[in-house]
């Protein structure tokens, strides 16, 4: 399994130029409390790779609180045959800690 661990600068650049879609796999209550602007919530507890919006033309990057669940979701997506291999290693905790914008 190939995994690319993205840092915050790569994520910020991808969001800024509109080339990236963040899939936040935290639970709905976590997502509702705050998330990376523009991200889509697909909770790991009921994760279905078929629900990933791969038709957007954007790079799909998984994110969670700190990088553990995003790697699990990435593994499930790869097992389903999807050509996805990127996750945001720092996750929402790093994003918020560094003072980046948060939607709730």
The catalytic site residues sit at 64
Q: How far apart, in whole angstroms, are the C-alpha atoms of residue 1 and residue 64?
A: 19
Contacts of 76 (CB under 8 A, 6+ apart): 47, 49
Is residue 42 a contact partner of residue 24, using CB atoms and an 8 Å limit?
yes
Residue 53, CA distances (Å) to 10, 29, 33, 40, 64 in order = 20, 21, 23, 9, 17
């Amino acid at each position: 399994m190939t995994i690319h661990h993205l840092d915050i600068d790569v994520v910020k650049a991808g969001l800024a130029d509109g080339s990236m879609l963040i899939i936040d796999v935290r639970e709905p209550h976590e997502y509702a409390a705050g998330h990376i602007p523009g991200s889509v919530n697909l909770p790991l507890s009921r994760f279905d790779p078929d629900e990933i919006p791969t038709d957007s033309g954007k790079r799909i990057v998984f994110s969670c609180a700190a990088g553990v669940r995003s790697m699990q979701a990435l593994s499930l997506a790869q097992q389903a045959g999807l050509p996805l291999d990127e996750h945001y290693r720092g996750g929402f905790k790093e994003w918020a800690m560094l003072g980046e914008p948060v939607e709730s």
